Structure 1
Amino acid sequence: MNFSSLGFFRSLRKDNHQFAVIGLGRFGRSVCSTLHQLGYQVLATDVDEKRVSEALNEQIVGHALQLDSTESGALKEAGIFEFDTVIVAIGNYVQESIITTLNVKEGGVPHVVAKASTEVHCKLLKRVGADHVVFPEYEAGRSLARSLTKPSILERFDLDPDNSIVEVIVPDDFHGRTISELQLRNRYGVNLLAVSNDGKFTINPDPSKRLEKGSLMVVIGCNKDINRLPI
């Protein structure tokens, strides 16, 4: 299971099949490529003509245009305001990022996702109307710190600051014991969602199933309770 991108993609409108991405740096290219591979229509823009040409040549988008997103008229002419969801992927140029986000919101786009490079940048983006702000560097740093201190946790999806879904290696203490015997909810305060079986996950496993050392399990609970697991 891979929860790494759920926080971002769950913010996108489920009924939308067309996206505009402004900014073709590493983050913007990654978003374009992933959406394109998933079969969505993507229009990408960047102020750098070379980046636009590269995106088209590498076929990571359906359409790409060179324009200055701080110019509201250019965005309107390109049809950006007609999209339901626009991703502002300009992270390293704070002024341009904020002006672009403001332009897109004032242009009537109902759902704007913006990338932040700092906490202050994040707050400013929210002030000018961003509906969802992603902070890749901050999230990567948290993920690294957690993987160093809790190496048995392979994936984590934060539901909110206090609760998470995690994929963990079955602890040695759980080997050979049934799910019913472990009483995970009573003893640790977590609920078991799935366990692996020969590389495939079984959802809502039978309480009589015995866990095996080295296999995987997915649990949900508050972070304090998850940290109580013998992992």
Structure 2
Amino acid sequence: FAYLADLALRGSVMSGLLALTYWVDALKVVNTFGWSMQYVVVIIVFSVYMDMGNTACLAWYNFYGTLLPTLNVFFLWGWCPHGTTQAGVFSPTWWFGFVDFIAFNFAFLALNVPVGVRMFALSWQAYFSMAFLNPHNTTKFSTGFDDIILQGAAVGPLVGTIFGCVLGLVVVGPSPWGYTLTGLGHAQEQAIKLTWEEGKLWKAMVDYFCKSDQTV
């Protein structure tokens, strides 16, 4: 219980600090650069687990699953900077985006990628592709590495994901009220507990055979 309470307290404190960016006027500017702290909290929730190793693994899944559709949308908008807003529905540009969407989804459903990566990649790609295929789209996207738009619909969430992954590791790292939550530390605690139980068992055996605690 104490271990889970410690983990819950760490996550709650971090979420509360990020929530200040919506309550304190001086901090509201943080949410105007293209990413939001509420999405950072979402990434923290999907990243933080029982120890540093698992948290780092899940954070990597979240980052990797967001990075791939972002790179893919760079490819889409790099070739077609206006999307389908000029070409219209069922144009060659529209079919190009449609085939890209099908190929991307098929790859992630067919390949043996981790569930976390698949979940983030497919959800973001669905949003990006729907914006690309919509001839009335007004959402801004970066068209490549030479045209990075932080307020864009792809780069902003990617930056927010990076913040969330890093802060997720901070949550399970050293804190004023505890040490780093690691698998090794958890194993050491279990080893101490087992050693203590074994010591009690040996004491009971000695007491029994020394006739100080015989039952028969």
Q: TM-score, normalised by structure 2?
A: 0.27
Which one has the largest radius of gyration? Answer: 2
Higher relative contact order (CA 8 A, sep 6+): 2
Q: TM-score, normalised by structure 1?
A: 0.26
Choose between structure 1 and 2: higher helix proportion. Answer: 2
Choose between structure 1 and 2: higher strand proportion. Answer: 1
